[in-house]
């Protein structure tokens, strides 16, 4: 390659990285547009059924094989990371539930990252008019963590998270695909987890089939966000106080002890999410849910799903003050909420709970809820 051409590539690459930091990304690296090494492992993972109900993944399986299936002309993948760690979680009082840190703020991180990607893409077009770009924030068939490792941003922890030596794993990843031929960074070829297995051991639902292998069907984040319908009975107590998502495997990671904190306004915790009052959420009307959670991460499980989660946390927390709102939920329009409320009343027990369960049993017609009612009564008597 002529010296002038190489110098131009280097100058352009440096400008792209400087622009990425200027728009607010904490990490930036360049990866080649190649078939990621993790693609065969993804195929094995899908064959094992670990994706659960996330059927968009097997439907698009072939597309993950190469980034050209996302952007046909791609030559370089600009991998980006932004730190979302803020303050430490507040201890949840009675009948409160924990929310994953990334969802504490005022906006959906997808929107935040897309806005930053647009800014970066605009700068690339200014630097090199006529180039092509496409921004990706975990909705396209791209193995972001693989490309982040290829771009030198970190290694895969045993909990499957990308870990960076300086930033830990409190990172949101994004990618900008471009047809520009940028200078690639050296891939991160080593792991720094050693013999540590804290992330595997802390999981209360045993979601890790082994190091680096997550069975999403047991993961609290999957159960409380992605899964529609009732959460399997055998996994409900393991959910504990987690109403939305889960941070346990990151909370215990030694690499996160000194991770930097973010001052970005969008990530600062709102008082009603760190922690969240589960009675308030269980008793929300649909209009209240839409007004409070539209365009935030907590919108994803939906009105039914978030209230289902709140009911489970109330059953796990063991406070009798939750009995009355759970009894009210036995008359909810949603069979999922009714069934979960029955389970939680069975966990809490007591004469008012048992009487309400028996009364609902006389009028309930949904088979799944009837089963929940009978099981709850049996546990309480």
On the question of pLDDT at 198 being above 70, the answer is: yes
DSSP track, 223-256: IIII--SPPPHHHHHHHTTEEE---HHHHT-GGG
pLDDT, one tens digit per residue, over 369-381 is 999 999 999 998 8
Q: Quick one: pLDDT at residue 2? A: 57
Q: Quick one: pLDDT at residue 287? A: 98
201, containing H or E segment: helix 198-202
**pLDDT > 70: percent of the chain:** 99
pLDDT, one tens digit per residue, over 158-171 is 999 999 999 999 99
Between CA 377 and CA 343 the distance in angstroms is 9
Contacts of 235 (CB under 8 A, 6+ apart): 205, 218, 223
C-alpha angle 319-323-329 in degrees, rounded to nearest 5: 130
Clarify whether 146 is annotated catalytic.
no
Q: Quick one: pLDDT at residue 1? A: 52
Q: Quick one: pLDDT at residue 169? A: 98
pLDDT, one tens digit per residue, over 70-113 is 999 999 999 999 999 999 999 999 999 999 999 999 889 999 99
Q: Quick one: pLDDT at residue 358? A: 98
pLDDT, one tens digit per residue, over 36-81 is 999 999 999 999 999 999 999 999 999 999 999 999 999 999 999 9
Q: Is the peptide bond before 284 cis (omega within 30 degrees of 0)?
A: no
Q: Extract the tokens encoding 161.
A: 């998270």
Domains of the chain: residue spans and CATH: 1-274 (no CATH), 275-381 (1.25.10.10)
144, containing H or E segment: helix 144-150
Between CA 148 and CA 100 the distance in angstroms is 22
Please, what's the largest Cα pairwise distance for the chain? 84
Q: Quick one: pLDDT at residue 381? A: 80
Rounded average pLDDT over 309-331:
98
Give yes or no for a contact between 184 and 13, defined as CB atoms under 8 angstroms apart: no
Question: Exposure pattern of 327-351 as b/e (b: 16+ CB <10 Å)?
Answer: bebbebebbbbbbbbbbbbbbbbee
Q: Quick one: pLDDT at residue 100? A: 98
Q: Quick one: pLDDT at residue 6? A: 85
Q: Quick one: pLDDT at residue 141? A: 97
- DSSP for residue 225: I
Measured in Å, how far apart are the chain's first and last C-alpha atoms? 80
Question: Is the sign of the CA dihedral 376, 372, 227, 51 positive or negative?
Answer: positive
pTM over 0.85? The answer is yes
| Phi-psi domain of 235 (left: phi exceeds 0; alpha: psi -120 through 50; beta: other) | alpha
Whole-number Cα distances in Å, 164 to 27, 92, 148, 278 = 9, 29, 10, 34
Site of tokens 């308030």: 280
> What is the SS3 assignment for 242?
strand
- DSSP for residue 164: B
pLDDT, one tens digit per residue, over 329-364 is 999 999 999 999 999 999 999 999 999 999 999 999
44, containing H or E segment: helix 39-47
Rounded average pLDDT over 293-320:
97
Between CA 92 and CA 87 the distance in angstroms is 14
On the question of pLDDT at 250 being above 70, the answer is: yes
- DSSP for residue 283: T
Which residue is catalytic, options 14, 138, 206, 331?
138
CA Rg value for the chain:
23
On the question of pLDDT at 235 being above 90, the answer is: yes
Q: Quick one: pLDDT at residue 300? A: 96
């Amino acid at each position: 390659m002529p010296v002038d051409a190489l110098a131009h590539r280097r100058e352009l690459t440096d400008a792209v990285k400087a622009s990425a930091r200027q728009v607010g990304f904490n990490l930036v690296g360049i990866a080649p547009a190649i078939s990621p090494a993790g693609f065969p492992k993804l195929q094995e993972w899908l064959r094992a059924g670990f994706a659960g109900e996330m059927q968009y993944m097997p439907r698009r399986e072939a597309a993950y094989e190469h980034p050209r299936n996302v952007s046909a002309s791609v030559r370089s993948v600009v991998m980006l990371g932004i730190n979302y760690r803020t303050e430490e979680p507040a201890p949840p009082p009675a009948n409160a539930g924990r929310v994953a840190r990334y969802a504490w703020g005022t906006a959906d991180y997808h929107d935040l990252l897309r806005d930053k990607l647009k800014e970066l893409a605009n700068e690339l077009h200014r630097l090199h008019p006529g180039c092509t770009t496409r921004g990706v924030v975990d909705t396209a068939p791209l193995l972001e963590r693989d490309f982040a490792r290829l771009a030198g941003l970190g290694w895969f922890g045993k909990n499957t998270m990308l870990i960076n030596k300086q930033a830990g794993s409190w990172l949101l990843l994004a990618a900008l695909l471009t047809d520009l031929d940028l200078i690639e960074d050296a891939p991160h070829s080593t792991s720094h987890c050693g013999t540590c297995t804290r992330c595997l051991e802390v999981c209360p639902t045993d979601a890790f089939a082994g190091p680096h292998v997550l069975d999403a069907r047991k993961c609290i984040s999957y159960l409380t966000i992605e899964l529609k319908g009732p959460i399997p009975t055998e996994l409900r107590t393991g959910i504990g106080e987690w109403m939305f998502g889960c941070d346990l495997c990151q909370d215990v990671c030694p690499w996160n002890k000194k991770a930097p904190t973010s001052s970005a306004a969008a990530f600062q915790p709102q008082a009603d999410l760190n922690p969240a009052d589960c009675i308030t959420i269980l008793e929300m009307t649909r209009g209240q849910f839409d007004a409070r959670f539209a365009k935030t991460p907590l919108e994803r499980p939906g009105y039914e799903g978030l209230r289902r989660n709140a009911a489970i946390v109330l059953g796990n927390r063991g406070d009798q003050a939750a009995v009355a709102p759970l009894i009210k939920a036995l008359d909810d329009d949603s069979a999922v909420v009714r069934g979960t409320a029955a389970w939680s009343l069975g966990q809490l027990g007591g004469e008012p709970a048992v009487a309400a369960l028996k009364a609902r049993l006389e009028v309930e017609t949904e088979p799944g809820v009837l089963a929940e009612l009978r099981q709850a009564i049996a546990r309480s008597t």
